[in-house]
A and B are shown apart, each in its own frame.
Chain A
Amino acid sequence: MDGSDIGFWGVPLAMLAGAIRVSTPFIFVSLGECLTERSGRINLGLEGTLMMGAMSAYGTALLSGSPWLGVLVAAGVGLMLGTLHAVLCQLPKVNDIATGIGLMLFGTGLAFFLGKPYIQPKAPNLGALDLGGWSSIPQVQQALQVNPLFIFGILLAFALAWALKNTRWGLIVRLAGESVDAALAIGASVARVRLLATAVGGAFAGIGGAFLSLYYPGSWNEGLSSGQGLMAVALVIFARWDPIRCLWASLLFGAAGAISPALQSVGVTQGYYLFSAAPYVLTLALMIATCSPARSVRGAPGELGAVK
């Protein structure tokens, strides 16, 4: 064995690599949505935030030469879009689902418009850490090239889970999401808590966008996200609003997304597009399996209107 032909073992290996590579935007967007929804608000606009994050990160990296500055700018743009959503939702008679869809279209449209000049040029990449140096198999080495943002995402999931359980802020966010009356009774400002949670959630999604344009696939174009922001929202329901389960679900989605290229690499070309649809089919299947008109989803924040 010369270390380059590993036959069908390439499929699970490529799925592992995919889980590591493709899952990062899912992790960030779902954690952002998780935080937002735990505070009692839905932000469907994170798809738009993801695109704006990707575009602004790419543009910043191109102009400044620093991809990490791009990540920072993407987070800032996400923060602003999240704040915009939160402020709009606080106006009387404004529905957060409708606002979210509006901001999703606004974000993607604005990203396409502002991003036109960045489609051709090549911006500097975020780079990766080689964690596969111990192996002599090139596929393994390649699979274990890990971007620092992936590691940051994992840490963020655990940090968020810890904070929601153990900090004053985390508990007040949950209280705002579970019962407005109870939050008011201890003098917490529900509006302020939701504003901050939605804004920070938007910042997370922005970072996810930066990963898309600056690492994988690593360029800016209009088909970059292909609905990942929306899938991440569905994923939060599947993960029952738990950051750690969001992490596992993101990895699962990442692996599903890698099925198609993995099969192609070992010579299975039939049904390429069918397998490309795996993440979408998975989303649909999970939603059907976990949602029912007769039962409410256990663990759903009490104030979250759309899942009642």
Chain B
Amino acid sequence: MTAAPSLELIGFTKRFGAMAALDDVTVKIKAGAFHALLGENGAGKSTLVKCAMGYYAADQGQILLNDHEVEIAHPRQAHELGLGMVYQHFTLVPNMTVLENFVLSRGDLPAVIDWAAERRALKSFFETTPFTVPIDTPVADLAAGQKQKGEILRQLYLKRNLLILDEPTSVLTPDEADEVLTTLKKLTNDGKITIVTITHKFREVNTYCDAVTVLRRGQLIGTRPTSELDNDMMAEMMVGRRETRTVVEREARAPGKAVLKLEGLSVADNVGQLAVEDLKLDIRAGEIVGIAGVSGNGQRELVEALAGQRDAEAGRMLVHGEVYTATRPEMVRHRIACLPEEPLRNACVADMSVAENIALRSFDQPPSSSTGVWLKRGPMRETARKLIEAYKVKTPGPDAAIRGLSGGNVQRAVLARELSSEGDLLIVANPCFGLDFAAVAEIRARIFQARNRGAAVLLVSEDLDEILQLSDRIVVMFDGKLALETDAASADVGAIGRAMAGH
């Protein structure tokens, strides 16, 4: 493996239409550094690294690799120069084994592949790495943490010596993240690779990174050694001076009667295996129960079963003591509201207007329709207009297609629809995924208001901070089962982390 290179990105500017995603940004990354790129959503971090990797053509900008100017117009050129990228999403091909994935991505294949020799070569390579993944397992069968390790191992296998990581630990448990990052840290210390990592997690920046570059709205705020910074300074660089997040008072209230009861619920996943197994859980009025866990441990299937998108294999769900099968009349009767993850896909019709999407729960009831047959556009639009204002949905108007709204505004529109009926039970999954600071604070406040009002809230989230901040009671899901149940007030974060990792 050749020595770690230094990288300089000089004067990068990139416009998408009228908006400048990057405005004259210059970053210098030292050889062998573990360099963090910090910033809110939309700050331009991803755009910057994608320009460096040749996915986007920058409008302006110069790249120096080891002080020599290089031209990178295509990802393959970046790869040839030893630059590699690990994404937030997985790029290993699910239907192929780890070995096939690794060998294929090398790109210089002989006409007939000698699998025995390749397997030996990969095995001996894995003897030099601090963690490994099973060689002959199809990637589809690997857990999320293993997949991410595989992604990183593949970059090392391809002898890339400058790695760009885009939120590499978002799919890992804290322990797994530490394992991966410690290894990478060691490789940088040995001068073998240089790492640029995009992250939101201050803990990781403090523990592993040498230097931090902060971007805000496409502008460079500054590059500083980590040793000169503390969390407050980093946060201020990231968000600038603005009002801090709204914290809603937690009204002390004794939880009421159980609104939702899960009795031995089992749900199968897309390939027919049980993703949720024999789940028993009560959610009472006026409490938020947070389900923590690394993604892929059955949370998605649980929410889909509750939302009526998936049938249960066994067990039953009770709402207000009655059997609940997630039909529309039951949802209306029991006043159930649901904010699933990826709302544009799971809770909206993308090509319908904002007003129509807001009316999806109530379009056949007064005032949108007096008979349930003919729809009245006027009242429907009027209701939508009021909710758009109340929930500060940024849209060109009630008749604009919801597809055109930003993620945060789709989330607000769905939240407006679901919370406007003052439901008794609110089911929320990853409500703040991919949203910026301001939107996150507002959406969390709305959820909290629902709880203070007396609604039972089931909050499923991969963001442990969110669970800790909002929940009255925390349960951890691992491999489709409840691994831990604890009061939020007396929660031990270490125990939660261990339960998330299955210990």
Spell out A's residues near B (CB within 8 Å): 166-169, 171-172, 174-175, 178-179, 181-182, 184-187, 294-296, 298-302
Contacts and interface: CB of A to CB of B under 8 A. Distances in A.
15 contacts: A166-B112, A167-B111, A167-B113, A168-B109, A171-B104, A174-B95, A175-B93, A178-B95, A182-B105, A185-B76, A185-B91, A186-B104, A186-B105, A295-B268, A299-B95
B367 interface: no
Question: Most chain-B CB neighbours within 10 Å: which of A187, A300, A301?
Answer: A187
B96 A174 contact: yes
A295 B271 contact: yes
B310 interface: yes
Interface string B110-137: 1111010000000000000000000000
Contacts of A299: 95
Contacts of B104: 171-172, 175, 182, 186
Nearest to A169: B111
Given A295-B271, A300-B95, A302-B93, 10 more contacts: A175-B96, A185-B76, A185-B91, A186-B104, A186-B107, A187-B76, A294-B310, A294-B311, A298-B271, A302-B95
B490 interface: no
- Report, as a range, how many residues of chain B touch the other chain: 20 to 34
Contacts of A294: 268, 270, 310-311
Would you call the interface of chain B mostly helix, strand, loop, or mixed?
loop
Given A186-B105, A294-B311, A298-B271, A168 B113 contact: yes
Interface string B385-418: 0000000000000000000000000000000000
Nearest to A171: B104
Contacts of A175: 93, 96, 104
Q: Which 6 A-B pairs have the closest CB atoms?
A: A186-B107, A168-B109, A178-B93, A179-B93, A296-B270, A295-B270
A174 B113 CA distance: 14
B271 A166 contact: no
A181 B113 contact: no
Interface string B90-105: 0101111000100111
Interface in B264-321: 268-272, 310-311
B75 A167 contact: no
Contacts of A184: 75
Nearest to B105: A186
Contact of B111 (A168, A178, A181, A301): A168
A182 B109 contact: no
A237 to B, nearest CB: 15
A168 B105 contact: no
A302 B91 contact: no
Contact of B113 (A166, A182, A185): A166
Interface of B: 75-76, 79, 91, 93-96, 100, 103-107, 109-113, 115, 268-272, 310-311
Contacts, number: 64
Nearest to B75: A185
A295 B113 contact: no
A220 B270 CA distance: 45
A301 B270 CA distance: 15
Contacts of B272: 295
Contacts of B106: 186
A181 B107 contact: no
B457 to A, nearest CB: 27
A178 B79 CA distance: 21
Contacts of B100: 171
Contacts of B107: 186-187
B110 A168 contact: yes
A181 B104 CA distance: 13
A283 to B, nearest CB: 22
A296 B273 CA distance: 12
Contacts of A171: 100, 103-104, 109, 113
Contacts of B103: 171
Contacts of A166: 112-113, 115
A182 B91 contact: yes
A296 B93 contact: no
Nearest to A186: B107
B271 A302 contact: no
A300 B95 CA distance: 8
Contact of A182 (B93, B112, B115): B93
Nearest to A174: B96
Nearest to B115: A166
A171 to B, nearest CB: 5
Contacts of A182: 91, 93, 104-105
B271 A296 contact: yes
A302 B101 CA distance: 14
Contacts of B105: 182, 185-186
Nearest to B273: A295
A168 B105 CA distance: 11
Nearest to A300: B95
A296 B106 CA distance: 30
A166 B113 CA distance: 5
Contacts of B115: 166
Contacts of A185: 75-76, 79, 91, 105
Contact of A181 (B79, B91, B311): B91
A119 to B, nearest CB: 46
A9 B218 CA distance: 80
Contacts of A178: 93-96
A172 B103 CA distance: 11
A184 to B, nearest CB: 8
B84 to A, nearest CB: 10
B371 to A, nearest CB: 32
A186 B272 CA distance: 33
A308 to B, nearest CB: 10
A239 to B, nearest CB: 15
Contacts of A169: 111
Contacts of A296: 270-271
B270 A168 contact: no
B434 to A, nearest CB: 20
A56 B223 CA distance: 72
A298 B268 CA distance: 14
A168 B94 CA distance: 19
A102 to B, nearest CB: 26
Nearest to B74: A187
B224 to A, nearest CB: 34
A113 to B, nearest CB: 42
A294 B313 CA distance: 12
Question: Most chain-A CB neighbours within 10 Å: which of B93, B103, B269, B272?
Answer: B93
